[in-house]
């Protein structure tokens, strides 16, 4: 079967997490760059990666790459690529996005227009037609320029992979599903350990943790653009990948995953989202202020995304809020705490320096993932399958 270079974009700073996921799926990594991981795979890999990757933003199929310093070079090199091997005569195609970093060509709209024109000219000559009805499947194209190297890809995912299909209701500043999954995977949390999010909002951290605990693939209940690409991927490949994912699901797993929020309406939304995800029986949601955070058991995990004052009136309350967070963490016996925030004085008011501090870009916003590490539980308290 034909193999491709597949590119999986991710949040900047979390490439190592995605790399491990891809290796665990059984595929060879060919390159790791800022914000994306490239791997080798066939048509089956396209299906399994879209359905199974928790931390990738999408799965892109690389058509080609080349250097271009002028628009003429961009047009000529794009036209040389074998587009007829990917887009059928009735295919609907457009350049959905172009990005340029440290390159001579920097106008996204001009890049998009010229790449589309070059593809049209190539396919006109190949199919011997002058007009494309574009009545068939959609083949969205994405173009990246980095230091004058152009990479042209087909987007196999369509909607971003963070759209799992369960989050119908969102809080004011929700964390994306892919980022939440990445941060959980950065911790040593396992399904047999306690996990609490005291600022759970619409429930993303608890739901993503429950999906992991039950081995529910993140893309199991959604569709993908490439499902219509019958010239490249047979329907049976998608069917087989979904069957594989369904067979792995374990809804009988026992968990202690809890989500709290001070807003009762948001907690109601979180419960509805968990129900849509099929994991509502694995999570305990409760309307609760962080000031009353407590847990009788030892060796738990706090993973959360507290407010960080995007509005001026919120900024004034942040010292007190983070001081409260620090006080409550100190009362949790032998717990580990993981906090993602853009608030620069977080450690100061929590009252403790983080053991680890990882810079992560949430979109264009620079945030920090503060990691306050507690002791590991004694080995006799840890099930053999925990892997720690």
CB 100 within 8 A of CB 111: yes
Looking at residue 364, its pLDDT comes to 79
Looking at residue 47, its pLDDT comes to 98
Looking at residue 116, its pLDDT comes to 97
Looking at residue 314, its pLDDT comes to 73
The rounded distance, in Å, linking the Cα atoms of 211 and 375 is: 26
Burial of 164-203, coded b for 16+ CB within 10 Å and e otherwise, reads bebbebebeebbbbbbbbbbbbbbebbbbbbbbbbbbbbb
pLDDT digits (tens, 9 = 90+) for 297-354: 999 999 999 998 766 557 889 999 999 999 999 999 999 999 999 999 999 999 999 9
Closest CA to 144 of 155, 133, 152: 152
388 pLDDT exceeds 50? no
Angle between helix 177-186 and 204-213 (nearest 10): 60
Report, as an integer, the average pLDDT of 229-253.
98
Report, as an integer, the average pLDDT of 232-257.
98
pLDDT digits (tens, 9 = 90+) for 7-45: 999 999 999 999 999 999 999 999 999 999 999 999 999
pTM (2 decimals)?
Answer: 0.94
CB 205 within 8 A of CB 305: yes
Task: Tell me how many helices (H) and strands (E) the chain has.
Answer: 11, 14
Q: Which residue has the higher pLDDT, 378 or 154?
A: 154
CB 342 within 8 A of CB 368: yes
pLDDT band at 283 (very low <50, low <70, confident <90, very high): very high
pLDDT digits (tens, 9 = 90+) for 36-75: 999 999 999 999 999 999 999 999 999 999 999 999 999 9
Report, as an integer, the average pLDDT of 95-106.
97
pLDDT band at 1 (very low <50, low <70, confident <90, very high): confident
CB 31 within 8 A of CB 18: no
Closest CA to 307 of 342, 270, 351, 359: 342
Report, as an integer, the average pLDDT of 123-145.
96
Looking at residue 379, its pLDDT comes to 80
174 pLDDT exceeds 80? no
- Domain at 177-218+225-377, CATH class: alpha beta
Burial of 17-29, coded b for 16+ CB within 10 Å and e otherwise, reads bbbebbeeeebee
pLDDT band at 386 (very low <50, low <70, confident <90, very high): very low
Give 175-193 as a DSSP string: PPHHHHHHHHHHS---TTS
Report, as an integer, the average pLDDT of 130-142.
94
The rounded distance, in Å, linking the Cα atoms of 154 and 231 is: 14
pLDDT band at 172 (very low <50, low <70, confident <90, very high): low
Q: How far is CA 362 from CA 102, 105, 183, 337, in A?
A: 21, 26, 12, 20
Considering the chain, what is the average pLDDT of its residues?
94
89 pLDDT exceeds 50? yes
CB 100 within 8 A of CB 122: no
Looking at residue 92, its pLDDT comes to 97
pLDDT digits (tens, 9 = 90+) for 175-211: 999 999 999 999 999 999 999 999 999 999 999 999 9
Pair type for strands 301-304 and 28-33: unpaired
CB 49 within 8 A of CB 60: no
Task: Tell me which fold the domain 4-155 belongs to.
Answer: VC0802-like (3.30.2130)
Q: How far is CA 22 from CA 18, 27, 366, in A?
A: 6, 6, 26
381 pLDDT exceeds 80? no
What residues does CATH 3.30.2130.30 cover in the chain?
A: 4-155
Tokens of 213: 């605990």
What residues does CATH 3.40.50.150 cover in the chain?
A: 177-218+225-377
Beta bridge partners of 372: 337
Looking at residue 94, its pLDDT comes to 97
């Amino acid at each position: 079967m034909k193999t491709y270079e597949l590119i999986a974009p991710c949040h900047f700073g979390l490439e190592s997490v995605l790399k491990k996921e891809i290796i665990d799926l059984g595929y060879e990594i060919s390159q790791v760059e800022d914000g994306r991981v490239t791997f080798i795979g066939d048509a089956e890999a396209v299906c399994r990666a879209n359905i199974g990757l928790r931390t990738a933003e999408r799965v892109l199929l690389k058509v080609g790459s080349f250097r271009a310093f002028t628009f003429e070079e961009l047009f000529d090199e794009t036209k040389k690529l074998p587009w007829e091997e990917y887009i059928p005569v009735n295919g609907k195609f457009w350049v959905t996005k172009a990005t340029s970093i440290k390159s001579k060509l920097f106008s996204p709209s001009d890049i998009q227009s010229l790449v589309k024109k070059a593809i049209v000219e190539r396919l006109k000559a190949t199919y011997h037609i002058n007009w494309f009805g574009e009545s068939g499947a959609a083949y969205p194209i994405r173009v990246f320029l980095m230091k004058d190297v152009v990479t042209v890809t087909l987007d196999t995912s369509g909607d971003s992979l963070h759209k799992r299909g369960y989050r119908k209701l969102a809080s004011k500043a929700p964390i994306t599903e892919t980022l939440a999954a990445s941060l959980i995977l950065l911790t040593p949390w396992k399904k047999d350990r306690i996990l609490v999010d005291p600022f759970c909002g619409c429930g993303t951290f608890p739901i993503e943790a429950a999906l992991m605990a039950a081995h529910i693939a993140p893309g199991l209940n959604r569709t993908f653009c490439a499902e219509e690409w019958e010239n490249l991927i047979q329907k049976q490949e998608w069917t087989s990948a979904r069957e594989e994912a369904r067979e792995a699901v374990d809804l009988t797993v026992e968990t202690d995953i809890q989500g709290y929020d001070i807003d009762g309406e948001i907690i109601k939304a979180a419960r509805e989202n968990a129900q849509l995800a099929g994991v509502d029986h694995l999570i305990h949601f409760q309307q609760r202020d962080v000031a009353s955070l407590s847990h009788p058991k030892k060796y738990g995990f706090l993973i959360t995304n507290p407010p960080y004052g995007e509005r001026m009136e919120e900024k004034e309350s942040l010292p007190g809020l983070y001081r409260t967070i620090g006080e409550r963490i100190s009362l949790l016996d032998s717990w580990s705490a993981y906090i993602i925030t853009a608030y620069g004085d977080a450690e100061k008011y929590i009252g403790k320096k983080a053991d680890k501090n990882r810079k992560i870009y949430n979109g264009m916003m620079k945030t920090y993932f503060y990691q306050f590490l507690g002791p590991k539980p004694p080995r006799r308290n840890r099930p053999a399958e925990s892997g720690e």
